[in-house]
Structures are given as structure tokens and as C-alpha cells.
Amino acid sequence: MAQTPSASEQARPLQIDDITVIDNTKLKKAVTAAALGNAMEWFDFGVYGFVAFALGKVFFPDASPAVQTIAALGTFSVPFLVRPLGGVFFGVMGDRFGRQKVLSLTIIIMAISTFCIGLIPSYDTIGLWAPILLLACKLAQGFSVGGEYTGAAVFVAEYAPDRQRGFLGSWLDFGSIAGFVLGAGLVVLLQTMMGDASFLDWGWRVPFFVAGPLGLLGLYLRHAAEETPAFTQQLEKMEKEDRDAVQERPTVSFREIFAKYRKALLVCIGMVLVTNVTYYMLLTYMPTYLSSSLGYSEQHGVLIIVVVMIGMLFVQPVVGFVSDKIGRKPFLLIGSLGLLVLALPAFRLIGSDNTALIFLGLLLIAVLLNCLTGVMASTLPALFPTRIRYSALASSFNVAIIIAGLTPTVAAWLVEETDNLMMPAFYLMAASIFGLVTSVFLPETANRPLRGDTPNASSPREAKVLLQQAYEHIEQSLLDVEAEIKTLEEQLEALRQRRQRLADRHPHLE
């Protein structure tokens, strides 16, 4: 079992050698490997959302068009139920054996399962086995993705200098959006070149085959990246204290996580809910909404969303960069409040039958989504200490994802059942409440070390500045503790006086 630092170790003054100066070459490798793997993950999600109409006809041919769409999106949503299992499994593995090894494993599973979707025969060929095999591949994806995003976020956060964590973390979701753009663009290109008949016959398989070479490239980059400094330091610290402990590798107690970090877990769940409900509403459900509910051609709707996503690519790193200057909390607040106020107007624009207004409505939601995704990868890992960071983050993240992952299916069902095209807007407004509440309790993490870690700097000069800031933070914390002690002493004195007054009223008590 992992040992806590000794009293002497904890009491040792912070020195310049305790600040990790990050090697720029290793940092670039780490960010690239994490972002490309994430792009691979979301490439599949993007493709799946954009070809849901084709998958419904191929794997559920006997159902009505509306039921085909709901069934295809349902197959997309069901794997989210196993994501917590993958999160727990890969989270524990990542905290025991390292982030780099686990991320290499998740991308292998993701690439193989995505590639296999393209190999599944149609319902007309093998009957019920077709949707069963599709579901099996999606379950494998869900299991691997349970450790993918959170592991990549931890990987980048532990490598990033404290003053650049927002900017560098934003590239993780840049990879997500780029994966969507690649998947959507490929679908549009194939449909345009092949026509609907050929695309429905076999062309829909091509985007899934692309996952093979993408996975190999991602695996190469992740294998070449080194383990994070924070995890390496954690093992070195354990080795100094207990050689047996480091040989057994650190263990994770979920009872301890829930007992000590309940607030951090709830903050994580709230932030993930509002971010990913918006994510899946815009980037997975919206192509289906435009084609099935509003009657636009698949190519027309997808093309508009591709343009919006390309715009998001430019905004994403800007949000991360600015968050390093003004903090993460303002962006969570702006994104959540914006959804509450603007979701309904945005969907009215989307339903206007005017291409410019449709684009404007989608752009409104996209910019608000950027406010959330631009800070999520840098915020969530900072909520937990290194020893349990991967496990705690993966567990809470994937609990929230169960709900968020149902967004495309629930939104399609609500529109079908109520015949109200504004139901997706109401859905986003409900999700925004979670974001607003979370923004109140979210601790500001910008320009601060990860929880329980020593500072990370990008240069020796910056290390000196961070050391001085750390001293100032310790001094301020000491003043806060002393003020709290004084308050407690005053409360204790008041209780003693109250006790004495009660005792004075009794003849036999002193």
C-alpha cells in the first residue's frame, strides 16, 4: 500500500530543486501524442453521428426512418454504460503502472474496434448478428474510451508548466474537434463523390477503415513519449520511503477517494455534464436533427457543421490561452450562463430555413462550447493529487458521461414524441444549471501547481519566479490558518464562558 510522506519530508522547506523545469521537446511530444489519440477517439464519434442515417438503414432496415435513426443513435449511446468500467480499470492501471503505458493500450483497443465496424456485414446478409456485432464493437470502444480522455488530460496536465496548462490542455479538445472535422469532411467527400446509393451500399465503411492507420500513428507517438514528471516523482518519493511499496506499485482505495475528495468528484461530474451534453448535442446529434427533423439534405447539414467546427478550432486554443491569464472559473460561468440564455434563440435560428441564420445559431452554441472545452482538460486533473489523479478523474468523469452520452438518443426521442423542435434547446438549458452550480464551487486552478504537486516551470528563470510565488502563497495560507485558529479560540472561549454560566446555576457543579 502507498505510504504517505513522513513528517520530516513534509516539513522540509520548498527549494528551487523541487520545481520541475519541463523539457520543451518532451512537452511537445506529450501534447501531440495525447491530442492525436483524442482525435482518433472523436473521429469515430464524428463519423458515427454523420452516418447514423446510413447505419440505421444498413443495420435496422425493417424499422421506420425515425426508429432507424433512434436505433442507430441508441447503439451510439449504449456503450457509455460501460465507460465507467473502463474508467475504473484504466484509471487504476494508470495510477499503478503509469499514464503512458495505459494510453498506448487504449488507443490500440479504440483503433481495432473502430476498424472492425467497417467489416461488419449488413442485416440483409447475416440478419440479427449485424446489429449485435455493431453493438459489440461499440462496447469495446466505450470500454477503451473510459480511460482515453481522462488519461490524456492527466498526461498533458502533468507535463504542462503551471503558467501554460490552460493553453496546452486546450489542444486536447482541439484534437477532439479536429477528429470530428476529419470524420465529417470525409463523410461529405465520399457522399459527394459516390452518390447516396453507393455510399449506402459500401461507402459508409471507408471512414471506419481510416481508423487503422490513424491508430498506428497514434500508438507510435504515445510509445515514443516518456512518462510524466509527476508520476515519476511519485514513484521516486515512494522508493525513498518504502522500497517494498514501490515494487508493489501504488494502490488506490475508492473508499478513500469518495471520503476525502467528495467535493472534487461532484465538481468534476458537474463540469463534465454541461460540457459533454453540449458537445454531443452539437457535434453528434445536430447532423441528424438537421436532416431528419428539419428536412435538410445530409450533405447540406453536415457542410454547415463542418464550417462551424473549423471555426471552433481557431477559438479553442485562444480560450485556453486567456484562461491562463484570467482563470478557468470565468469561462465555465460564461459558457453555462450563455447556454441558459441563448440555447432557445439559437435553436430558433437553426430552424429558420435560412442558411446564414442556421450558421449563426450553430455558431452561438459552438462558441459557448469552446468556453467549456477550452478549460476542461486543464481544470479537472488539478482537482486530485497525483497518487489517485487518474483513478478519481476517470471514475467521476465516466459517471457523468453515462448521462451526457444519452444526449443524441434522448434528444431524438423527445423531438419524435413531443413533435416540438425546441426540445434540444430545453435539454441544453437544463444541463446549463449543472454548470452554473459547479462554477460556484469550482476552485480556481490557473497558474497553480496541480493538487499536492510541486510547481512546473518552462525555464530556470520561471522556476525562480514560481518559487517566490509559492513562498507568498504559503505565507498567505499561514495567515489564513492563523486567522482560523484565532476564530476557533474565540469560539472555544465563548463555549467555556457558557459552560461556566451553566455550572454557576447548579449548586453541586464547579
**Residues 30, 101 contacting (CB under 8 angstroms):** no
In sign, the C-alpha dihedral spanning 317, 426, 338, 396 is negative
Distance between CA atoms of residues 164 and 153, nearest Å: 14
Give the pLDDT confidence score for residue 74 in this predicted structure.
67
Q: CA gyration radius for the chain?
A: 25
Beta-ladder partners of 20:
456
Residue closest to 20 by CA, chosen among 205, 323, 270, 236:
236
Q: How confident is the model at residue 111 (pLDDT cuts 50, 70, 90)?
A: confident
Distance between CA atoms of residues 490 and 496, nearest Å: 10
Distances (CA, A) of 133 to 101, 117, 136: 28, 8, 5
Distance between CA atoms of residues 240 and 93, nearest Å: 22
Tens of pLDDT, residues 436-481: 999 999 999 888 888 877 788 888 888 888 888 878 878 888 998 9
Beta-ladder partners of 456:
20
Residue 251 has pLDDT above 60, yes or no: no
Kindly list the domain boundaries of the chain, sorted by start residue. Answer: 7-458, 460-510
Cell (9 digits) for 24: 520543451
Distance between CA atoms of residues 74 and 106, nearest Å: 23
Give the pLDDT confidence score for residue 336 in this predicted structure.
96
Question: Mean pLDDT throughout 223-247?
Answer: 68
Tens of pLDDT, residues 7-33: 444 556 777 877 888 888 888 888 888
Cell (9 digits) for 467: 518559487
With cell 483513478, the residue in question is 391
Distance between CA atoms of residues 75 and 63, nearest Å: 15
Distance between CA atoms of residues 443 and 457, nearest Å: 21
Give the pLDDT confidence score for residue 233 in this predicted structure.
77
Give the pLDDT confidence score for residue 242 in this predicted structure.
54
Tens of pLDDT, residues 151-194: 889 989 988 898 899 999 999 989 888 887 888 788 878 888 88
Cell (9 digits) for 297: 439534405
Output 248-256 pairs: Cβ under 8 A, ≥24 positions apart. Answer: 248/1, 249/96, 249/97, 250/2, 250/95, 250/96, 250/387, 251/1, 251/2, 251/96, 252/91, 252/92, 252/95, 252/96, 252/387, 252/388, 252/391, 254/88, 254/391, 254/395, 256/388
Cell (9 digits) for 108: 490500440
Beta-ladder partners of 457:
21
- The angle formed by the CA atoms of residues 471, 170 and 349, to the nearest 5 degrees, is 130
Q: Is 2 helix (H, G, I), strand (E, B) or coil?
A: coil
Residue closest to 153 by CA, chosen among 458, 384, 419:
384
- Per DSSP, 118 falls in state T
DSSP secondary structure string for all residues of 343-412: HHHHHHHHTTS-HHHHHHHHHHHHHHHHHHHHHHHHHGGGGS-GGGHHHHHHHHHHHHHHHHTTHHHHHH
**Consecutive H or E run containing 457:** strand 456-457
The yes/no answer on whether domain 7-458 falls in CATH 3.40.605.10 is no
**Residues 372, 274 contacting (CB under 8 angstroms):** yes
Q: Would you state the torsion angle of the CA atoms of residues 476, 477, 483, 485, taken in this order, to the nearest 10 degrees?
A: -150
Strand pairing category for 456-457 and 20-21: parallel
With cell 469495446, the residue in question is 140
**Residues 447, 154 contacting (CB under 8 angstroms):** no
**Residues 228, 73 contacting (CB under 8 angstroms):** no
Residue 243 has pLDDT above 60, yes or no: no
Beta-ladder partners of 21:
457
The greatest distance separating any two alpha carbons of the chain, rounded to the nearest whole angstrom, comes to 100
> What are the residue ranges of helices labelled H in 51-128?
52-59, 65-77, 83-97, 99-117, 123-126
Distance between CA atoms of residues 391 and 384, nearest Å: 9
**Residues 396, 268 contacting (CB under 8 angstroms):** yes
Distances (CA, A) of 473 to 289, 329, 470, 480: 50, 19, 5, 10
The one-letter amino acid at 242: D
Residue closest to 107 by CA, chosen among 56, 162, 179:
179
Write down the mean pLDDT value for the chain: 83
pTM: 0.80
Q: Is 509 helix (H, G, I), strand (E, B) or coil?
A: coil
Q: How confident is the model at residue 73 (pLDDT cuts 50, 70, 90)?
A: low
Q: How confident is the model at residue 510 (pLDDT cuts 50, 70, 90)?
A: low
Give the pLDDT confidence score for residue 2 in this predicted structure.
38
Residue closest to 153 by CA, chosen among 333, 286, 315, 33:
33
